[in-house]
Amino acid sequence: MRDRQVARGTRRAREFEAFVAGAAGRLLHAATLLTAEAPNANPRARRLLTLALAHTYARWDRLHGEDPYDCARQHLATRFARAVWHQYVAFGRARPDPRSPLAALTPQERLILVLRLYEGVAEEQAAALLGLPAERVHTVCDRATANLLHPARPAAPRAAGPKVAPS
């Protein structure tokens, strides 16, 4: 009996290690896009990844045919959404790294854009995951894409006109 438990634990660890070897890089990139951190300085993204992988490992034996990548991605997205509420709403807005390609977007726009375009999650699935109507996900994704493709130009400084001497 004990030998069987040890063998099962060893097999579980090997399967999970193989999953992490194949999925961690992509999940870390998604987390880095979400947090809008620089790729080489991304502590919040690494924390999100660690929590998502820990959650997936804890559920490993109960996945029963579910995709472990989907489980980790869902946990990553929901943790980010909850963390955003605390960071941005409750405690003031944290500034994204200007080197991030998604730095100009709001956290919600980044989340939806990463799920839809980088991860390829269907609109209806993203809406269900985030608890939003599918139309809202569509609108936010379109707006975020437009903002990335056609960023707003900073207002040009006004030219000072000739000074008129008082008469």
pLDDT of residue 3: 87
Q: How far is CA 132 from the centre of its chain?
A: 16
Q: Is residue 65 left, alpha or beta, with left meaning phi > 0 and alpha meaning psi from -120 to 50?
A: left
| Mean pLDDT to the nearest integer, 9-23 | 94
Pick 38 or 161 by higher pLDDT: 38
Kindly provide the residue ranges of all beta strands, DSSP E only, lying in 36-164, ordered along the sequence. none
Burial of 112 (0-12, 13-18, 19+ CB in 10 A): buried
DSSP state string for 115-135: IIIIS---HHHHHHHHT--HH
| Mean pLDDT to the nearest integer, 120-128 | 96
Residues in the chain: 167
pLDDT, mean over the chain: 88
Q: Which residue bears the tokens 């438990």? A: 5
pTM of the complete model: 0.81
